[in-house]
Structure 1
Amino acid sequence: MSSDAQWHVSPVQQWAALSGRTVRAAVRQGDLPFGFLAPMIFFVCFYVPLRHSMETGGGRYAQYLLPVIVVQGMFFTAMSAGDRAARDTAGGMGTRLRSLPVGAWLPAAARMSANVLRGVAAIAGALVIGSAFGFRFHGFGAAVVFVVLALAFGLALVIGADLLGVVTGDPGTGATVLLIPQLLLVMLSTGFVPAQGFPGWIQPFVRNQPVSQAAAALRGLADGKYVAALPITIAWIAGLTVVFGAAVVLVEGRRR
């Protein structure tokens, strides 16, 4: 057996090794535990002050609130992804890997593994606290679509955030850039209160922006319904994925 064959490592083995490194770092640094706990904290912070005013017309506020907590968890997953990519770039990890016989796609794929795991942790944390306060799924199939849609939305955001981290190589810059749109889109959405709770001039934006559409789609799925917001949300996810994916290809092409 030649030495080249003896020491050959398949792309799958390389991906597994890099993914294991990234996941272990996420656990060691507290990123995964925080990803699980953060939705619980935010759920309680909004549920406690708003519950009584929102339940005057009947219904459970937990059923209404939880979808936007899941969406917010995906935004925080994206912010974590940007921070992780920036730290790898600043630490020279990408440069070292490019000097090795490692596929150009493997470092990003390994980071995505940790990002997907963090997204799952965020959804799990949200569902745990939501269930404790009365949130329920009404239909197994719709529940599966709920989780898949939430992860797809998060992955679309993660692709863009990961690219931003790679380009800037500065965790502080990435966090600042991502925090502002996250706050605006989440707070100016129908996730916490209906569109009628906003001034009339801003209601069209509040009703139609992607966070509101995603929250409405997830809310419908939780109730076992496939509402009109679902295809709109899928279109948003597809559009963001295409745009951010094209940007990744362009940037990586120039880095080679």
Structure 2
Amino acid sequence: MKAARASEAVQTERGQGARAVRHVAIIMDGNGRWAKKRMLPRIAGHKKGVEAARATVRAAGELGIEVITLYAFSSENWRRPEAEVSDLMGLLRVFIRTDIDELANNGVRLRVIGDYRALAPDLVKMIDGAIARTAHNERTTLVIALNYGSQNEIVRAARALAERAKAGDLDPAAIDEAAIAGLLDTEGLPELDLLIRTSGEKRLSNFLLWQSAYAEMMFVDTLWPDFGKADLAAALDQFAQRERRFGGL
């Protein structure tokens, strides 16, 4: 009911086209460049990026977006310098510790995709607690991709189906798109409508490859720390002007 009312509000405020945007995903890129332009250490860019994430989640709720998925840490990000990875994990701890009350009080449900259980035990415990605390919220779902890689996600789904087929519990001929989608980390979420990447880069970086099959994509020049509600609203306006045919005429 809350999500329906939010969608109705968006229809009134932004028009029929925006009402169809249920699920938005963002590749939050440009923290390092933001800091470099200001001759600041990279951690300053990441801290400012957390502020942008906080503001964008608030904006998503205000604009009636049902699900917002943020690419926080990829399975490839482990290749970064150890100090930077440590800083990122520290910021994640701070975010959960300081923002969980606001998320819970504002009806935001937290969900995490990716192999987050490979993170430090204390961080896993914090994440599990935040997920449990917000599990019954309905206004907005915040999905954070942590230690996430889309190719690995698809491999895990394929392996699970292969094991079922090998055990005789599944006819390989019965494997279809729905069978695979049902084993992805995003199972149960609305289909992805819009994927945004900030900073001007134009690639998916192993993010939601399956889910992006018919998503609209927008690559904006704004560096992530400078991204805010106005940018998100502008993306929804642009989305409303696009014609989505899903392979048809």
Q: Under TM normalisation by the shorter chain, which class is it?
A: under 0.3
Greater strand fraction, Structure 1 or Structure 2: 2
User: Which has the larger share of helix?
Assistant: 1
Higher relative contact order (CA 8 A, sep 6+): 2
User: Larger Cα Rg: Structure 1 or Structure 2?
Assistant: 1
- TM-score after normalising by structure 1: 0.26
